[in-house]
């Protein structure tokens, strides 16, 4: 812990990078997952295409995806995009299923009632289906965020920033304190992000706790 | 195993030389269940059962009935120690159940619950063989016994290989009963076993239970919240009141004729007079009726009962002028049929018939005559005078 | 690009692809075995007694937040290079999903079924082993197969501290700027993950009672 206080500026700098590298991909992946998840919740064909594809994406090790991305995109190996794209892909793969499951779980009678009252499809999706799907969606988002925060460190193995840099530097200089500092930072960040999402979920879905 | 007849012993009971009754027993394993001042208070302070004193007679179906939260299920579950009492004693055959280790106790007591509680990962046959296997029977003997029971509860042998999820609710409950009977326990506890199935299947299962009991002569404790089910199945009925009090413990006819308090009166229903008819044997005159067969040419002056080749009722033909050919399309469908058993059946038949004449059939379903509603009312008046019907 | 992968020279010798595959598979299987031996009894016991569920959930989440790279490096710094740090890091990765799956599986068994098991006279051990665990198997396999996928993918980083496995191709390729070798490593890991999952899917089919399959697939009604 002393390392953190003695090197506060450095620690804060890697924290910022780590946060950026984990949050941006979650946002990108989540936004892309909403239309695809919606499609998968409505069509067997979409599910037959998207789900196996998402499963295969998951099996590619993050380190491999991080080293392949610069070649595929034609950017330098030390570009942050090389972490952002793979993590966005993982988030997307995870969230398609979450969004699809969440939307499929919206009670049919509620949807039927909304249709019967004359909701048009887009308005119904935004004001009925999506809010009701939020609890399951947010549960998926929590898992994606946690795993992203943990995976950003892998980028350091090829020289990218974040807490992972503390791991590799600590390893190369036999400096246990530095590695521990990065580990503590990662866990604290994960717990804070998880708590924040939990809170957002509760605020957005007050009905979920009513009547318990 | 020996057949039923070989296991039965009959003892006469005599007082001063006059026979007053007989006791039938299967190999001397009749059980009595006694509750002595049994109280169950749950951790949150609610009293589920309050000072229950009750003796379940051996070889009877005894029904515990009452609204939810009255302690009927808790009382039942204390017999096989699924729940232990806070105070008081429960004796099965004179032995305090608290002195027996629960698994051993339970293997000797059949247990049937709502929704059957079958093991979804085991075939029907393996489900039925559970208790014999737990009790250390060898596998083949247990399987043979299970196959036997499948037949006893009225399921085809090919059900044995299926899994519970492939069965209907009623079929699952039959398997549940078979599983409870597998090790031939003298006592059977049934906790709302038929509540989760639809009314038609429920009636089937109830009749099946009565048929089985006539053959097996077990000591059965049956819990239900349905007073109709209680009155139909119970030789003795214990009505429980909210708060775990036993309000009345009596035969169904007594319960209907003389409810112990307002709670029992309202629980058995405002229509208890009508229900009583179910327990009264009819002494109603059967009148002849004019019948005609389909396709015959007849002159119909009054209500005529149309029957098929085997003399079973098809429907009524109302009075028409002149000679007509009896055709299916002209029939007015009839009401319920009366099999000559209870006063309620007679009244139902008379009231539901378009001709106001209740069709009486014999045990193969052939028409023997008709009863009139007036006669039923008269029989009822007679029963009332004799004190058999609540006033 | 695929040239590296299909060059026969890379398919033989002590650092050839078959050896790397075997090492990778070895890490995966032993990790899963150790994790299962720890996580299944723990999850099952807590699921059975219903007490301490928050410990399981809390422990799972805390372990999930641990970055595997950091654990690997820390154990190497403490205990030295070798396979031991790899197993510590991967077992900690595999425990949460297996434990959570087992716990959820046992909790999800219909209380009516459990009541019936006690009611027919099973002892607590019988209730757990003969009824709860067989019925929880689909969810236990769910957690286990999720863990298997993660372990296959993550075992790649073992090579960072000089251990074996398919990660060698990725890190050696990175050091030599040989894109073909890195790609070969990535493709082989993904392929291995699919094969391992297929293997466990087969095992699941063999060991889970047909009575627990969704209605309509277990036979005719």
CATH number where C184 lies: 1.10.3720.10
B43 plus B144 within the same structural domain: yes
Predicted local distance difference test score (pLDDT) of residue C214:
67
- Using CB atoms and an 8 Å cut-off, which of residues 104-163 of chain C contact chain B? 110, 112-113, 115-123, 126, 131, 134-135, 137
Length of chain A: 212
Q: Does domain A2-204 have CATH number 1.10.3720.10?
A: yes
Predicted local distance difference test score (pLDDT) of residue B13:
39
Which of B103, B131, B166 lies at the smallest CB-CB distance from C123? B103
A199 in C contact zone (CB under 8 Å): no
Q: Report, as ranges of residue numbers, the positions in chain B whose pLDDT lies below 50.
A: 1-28
- Averaged pLDDT, C170-181: 87
B19 plus B143 within the same structural domain: no
Q: Are B22 and B12 in contact (CB under 8 A)?
A: yes
- Answer yes or no: is C219 within a domain: no
pLDDT in tens, A35-66: 999 999 888 899 889 988 888 887 788 888 88
Q: Are A18 and A167 in contact (CB under 8 A)?
A: no
Integer Cα distance of A157 and A63 in angstroms: 8
Predicted local distance difference test score (pLDDT) of residue B388:
67
B near A: at least 3 beta-carbon pairs less than 8 Å apart: no
Which tokens hold the place of C175? 């050091």
> Among the residues of chain C, which ranges form H helices?
3-6, 17-49, 53-65, 68-79, 83-107, 111-119, 124-126, 133-154, 167-176, 179-207
B20 plus B37 within the same structural domain: no
B196 plus B250 within the same structural domain: yes
Integer Cα distance of B311 and A124 in angstroms: 63
Which tokens hold the place of C88? 């510590």
B48 plus B147 within the same structural domain: yes
Which tokens hold the place of C163? 């251990």
- HEC secondary structure over A125-157: HHHHHHHHHHHHHHHHHHHHHHHHHHHHHHHHH
A contacts of C174 (beta carbons < 8 Å): 67, 158
- Answer yes or no: is C187 within a domain: yes
- Averaged pLDDT, A105-119: 86
Chain C positions with Cβ closer than 8 Å to A: 61-62, 64-71, 73-74, 76-78, 149, 152-154, 156-157, 160-161, 167, 170-171, 173-174, 179, 182-183, 185-186, 189-190, 193-194, 197
Cβ–Cβ below 8 Å for A167 and C71: no
- Answer yes or no: is B390 within a domain: no
pLDDT in tens, B6-62: 333 333 333 433 334 333 344 445 668 999 999 999 998 899 999 999 999 999 999
Predicted local distance difference test score (pLDDT) of residue C10:
81
B262 plus B338 within the same structural domain: no
End-of-domain residue from the set B255, B279, B303: B279
Closest CA to B295 of B271, B327, B256: B327
- Answer yes or no: is B48 within a domain: yes
- B316 φ, ψ (degrees, to nearest 5): -105, 155
Predicted local distance difference test score (pLDDT) of residue C95:
95
- Answer yes or no: is C12 within a domain: no
Q: How far does the CA of residue C66 sit from the closest CA of chain A (Å)?
A: 6
Structurally, how many domains does chain B consist of? 3
Cβ–Cβ below 8 Å for C112 and B165: no
A contacts of C167 (beta carbons < 8 Å): 61, 63
Domain that holds residue B310: 291-385
Cβ–Cβ below 8 Å for B114 and C134: no
Best residue in A21, A22, A51, A59 to probe C by mutation, most C CBs within 10 Å? A59
B19 plus B48 within the same structural domain: no
pLDDT tier at C62 (50, 70, 90 boundaries)? confident
pLDDT averaged over every residue in chain A: 88
Cβ–Cβ below 8 Å for C116 and B118: yes
- CB neighbourhood size of B314 (10 A): 19
Cβ–Cβ below 8 Å for A183 and C189: no
- HEC secondary structure over chain A: CHHHHHCHHHHHHHHHHHHHHHHHHHHHHHHHHHHHHHHHHHCHHHHHHHHHHHHHHHHCCHHHHHHHHHHHHCCCCCCCHHHHHHHHHHHHHHHHHHHHHHHHCCCHHHHHHHHHCCCCHHHHHHHHHHHHHHHHHHHHHHHHHHHHHHHHHHHHHHCCCCHHHHHHHHHHCCCHHHHHHHHHHHHHHHHHHHHHHHHHHHHHCHHHHCCC
C65 in B contact zone (CB under 8 Å): no
- Averaged pLDDT, C36-57: 90
Which of B80, B120, B180 lies at the smallest CB-CB distance from C113? B120
Q: How far does the CA of residue B163 sit from the closest CA of chain C (Å)?
A: 5
Alpha carbons within 13 A on the beta-carbon side of B150: 21
| Centroid of chain to Cα C160 | 21
pLDDT averaged over every residue in chain C: 89
Contacts of B260 (CB under 8 A, 6+ apart): B239, B247, B248, B250
Cβ–Cβ below 8 Å for A171 and C193: no
Predicted local distance difference test score (pLDDT) of residue A211:
53
Integer Cα distance of C28 and C61 in angstroms: 22
B157 plus B56 within the same structural domain: yes
Question: E strands within chain B?
Answer: 8-15, 18-26, 33-41, 47-56, 61-65, 87-92, 95-96, 109-113, 187-191, 219-224, 236-241, 245-250, 291-293, 297-299, 304-307, 313-317, 323-325, 357-361, 367-372
Predicted local distance difference test score (pLDDT) of residue C21:
94
- Answer yes or no: is B285 within a domain: no
Structurally, how many domains does chain C consist of? 1
Predicted local distance difference test score (pLDDT) of residue B311:
86
Contacts of A168 (CB under 8 A, 6+ apart): A156, A157, C73
Cα–Cα–Cα angle for A189, A191, A82, nearest 5°?
Answer: 45
Contacts of C154 (CB under 8 A, 6+ apart): A61, C68, C89, C90, C93
B153 plus B37 within the same structural domain: yes
A68 in C contact zone (CB under 8 Å): yes
- Averaged pLDDT, A89-103: 91
Which tokens hold the place of C144? 């286990």
- Answer yes or no: is C8 within a domain: no
- Answer yes or no: is C4 within a domain: no
Tell me which residue has tokens 């957002």: A200
A9-13, B327-331, C87-91, C168-172: segment of lowest average pLDDT: B327-331
Integer Cα distance of B182 and B161 in angstroms: 17
DSSP 8-state secondary structure symbol assigned to residue B278: G
Share above pLDDT 70 across residues of chain B, in percent, rounded to a whole number: 89
- Averaged pLDDT, C107-113: 92
End-of-domain residue from the set B224, B257, B279: B279
Query: How many residue pairs bridge chain B and chain C with CB atoms within 8 Å of each other?
Result: 84
Edge-first strand order for the sheet with B33-41 is B47-56, B33-41, B87-92, B95-96
Integer Cα distance of C24 and C191 in angstroms: 12
CATH number where B80 lies: 3.40.50.300
Share above pLDDT 90 across residues of chain A, in percent, rounded to a whole number: 35
Predicted local distance difference test score (pLDDT) of residue B276:
75
- Answer yes or no: is C217 within a domain: no
Domain that holds residue C126: 17-210
Cβ–Cβ below 8 Å for B121 and C211: yes
Best residue in C20, C28, C62, C65 to probe A by mutation, most A CBs within 10 Å? C65
Q: Are B326 and B363 in contact (CB under 8 A)?
A: no
C near A: at least 3 beta-carbon pairs less than 8 Å apart: yes
Predicted local distance difference test score (pLDDT) of residue B173:
93
End-of-domain residue from the set B251, B279, B307: B279
Integer Cα distance of B37 and B193 in angstroms: 27
Closest CA to A54 of A42, A69, A37: A37
Predicted local distance difference test score (pLDDT) of residue B24:
39
Give the dihedral of Cα atoms B320, B321, B323, B324; nearest 10 deg: -40
Q: Are B258 and B90 in contact (CB under 8 A)?
A: no
């Amino acid at each position: 812990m002393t390392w953190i206080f003695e090197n506060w500026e450095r620690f804060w700098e890697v924290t910022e990078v780590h946060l950026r590298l984990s949050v941006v991909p979650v946002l990108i992946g989540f936004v892309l997952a909403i239309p695809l998840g919606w499609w998968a919740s409505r069509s067997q064909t979409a599910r037959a295409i998207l789900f196996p594809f998402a499963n295969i994406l998951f099996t590619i090790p993050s380190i491999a995806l991080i080293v392949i991305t610069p070649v595929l995109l034609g950017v330098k190996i030390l570009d942050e995009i090389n972490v952002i794209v793979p993590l966005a892909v993982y988030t997307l793969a995870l969230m398609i299923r979450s969004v699809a499951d969440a939307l499929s779980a919206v009670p049919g009678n509620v949807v039927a009632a909304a249709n019967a009252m004359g909701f048009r499809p887009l308005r119904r999706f935004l004001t009925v289906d999506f809010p009701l799907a939020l609890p399951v969606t947010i549960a998926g988002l929590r898992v994606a965020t946690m795993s992203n925060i943990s995976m950003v460190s892998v980028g350091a193995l090829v020289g990218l920033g974040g807490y992972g840099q503390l791991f590799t530097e600590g390893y190369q200089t036999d400096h246990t304190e530095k590695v521990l500092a990065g580990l503590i930072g990662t866990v604290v960040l994960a717990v804070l992000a998880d708590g924040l999402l939990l809170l957002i979920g509760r605020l957005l879905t007050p009905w979920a706790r009513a009547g318990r | 195993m020996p057949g039923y007849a070989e296991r039965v012993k009959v003892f006469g009971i005599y007082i001063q030389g006059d026979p007053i009754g007989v006791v039938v027993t299967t190999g001397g394993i009749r059980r009595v269940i006694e509750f002595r001042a049994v109280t169950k208070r749950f951790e949150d302070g609610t009293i589920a059962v309050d000072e229950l004193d009750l003796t379940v007679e051996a070889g009877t179906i005894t029904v515990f009935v009452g609204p939810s939260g009255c302690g009927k299920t808790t009382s039942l579950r204390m017999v096989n120690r699924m729940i232990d009492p806070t105070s008081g004693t429960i004796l099965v055959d004179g032995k305090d159940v608290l002195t027996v280790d629960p698994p051993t106790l339970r293997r000797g007591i059949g247990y049937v619950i709502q929704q059957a509680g079958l093991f979804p990962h085991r075939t029907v046959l393996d489900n039925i063989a559970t208790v014999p296997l737990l009790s250390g029977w060898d596998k083949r003997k247990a399987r043979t016994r299970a196959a036997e029971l499948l037949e006893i509860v009225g399921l085809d042998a090919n059900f044995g290989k299926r899994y519970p999820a492939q069965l209907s609710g009623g079929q699952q409950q039959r398997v549940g009963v078979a599983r409870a009977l597998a090790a031939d326990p003298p006592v059977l506890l049934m906790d709302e076993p038929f509540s989760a199935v639809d009314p038609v299947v429920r009636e089937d299962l109830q009749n099946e239970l009565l048929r089985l009991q006539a053959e097996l002569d077990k000591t059965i404790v049956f819990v239900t919240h349905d007073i109709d089910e209680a009155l139909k199945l119970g030789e003795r009925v214990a009505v429980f009141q909210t708060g775990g009090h036993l309000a009345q413990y009596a035969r169904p006819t007594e319960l209907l004729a003389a409810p112990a308090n307002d709670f029992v009166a309202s629980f058995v229903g405002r229509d208890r007079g009508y229900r009583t008819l179910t327990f009264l044997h009819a002494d109603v005159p059967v009148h002849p009726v004019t019948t005609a067969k389909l396709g015959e040419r007849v002159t119909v002056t009054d209500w005529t009962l149309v029957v098929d080749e085997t003399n079973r009722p098809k429907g009524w033909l109302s009075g028409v002028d002149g000679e007509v050919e009896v055709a299916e399309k002209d029939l007015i469908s009839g009401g319920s049929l009366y099999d000559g058993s209870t006063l309620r059946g007679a009244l139902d038949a008379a009231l539901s018939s378009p001709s106001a004449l209740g069709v009486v059939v014999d045990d193969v379903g052939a028409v023997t005559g008709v009863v009139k509603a007036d006669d039923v009312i008269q029989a009822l008046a007679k029963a009332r005078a004799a004190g058999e019907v609540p006033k | 690009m695929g040239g590296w992968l299909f060059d026969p020279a890379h398919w033989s010798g002590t650092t050839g692809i078959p050896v790397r595959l075997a090492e990778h598979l070895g890490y995966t299987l032993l990790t899963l075995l150790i994790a299962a031996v720890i996580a299944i009894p723990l999850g099952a016991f807590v699921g059975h007694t219903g007490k301490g569920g928050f410990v399981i959930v809390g422990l799972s989440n805390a372990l999930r937040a641990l970055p595997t790279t950091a654990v690997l490096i820390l154990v190497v710094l403490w205990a030295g290079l070798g396979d031991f740090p790899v197993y510590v890091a991967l077992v900690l990765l595999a425990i949460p999903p297996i434990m959570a799956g087992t716990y959820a599986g046992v909790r999800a068994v219909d209380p009516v079924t459990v009541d019936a098991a006690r009611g027919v006279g099973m002892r607590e051990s019988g209730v757990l082993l003969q009824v709860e665990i067989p019925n929880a198997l689909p969810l236990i396999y769910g957690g286990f197969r999720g863990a298997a996928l993660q372990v296959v993918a993550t075992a790649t980083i073992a090579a960072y501290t000089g251990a074996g496995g398919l990660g060698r191709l990725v890190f050696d390729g990175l050091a030599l700027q040989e894109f073909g070798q890195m790609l070969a490593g990535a493709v082989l890991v993904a392929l291995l993950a699919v094969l391992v999952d297929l293997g466990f899917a087969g095992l699941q089919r063999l060991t889970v009672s047909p009575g627990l399959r969704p209605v309509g697939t277990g036979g005719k009604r």
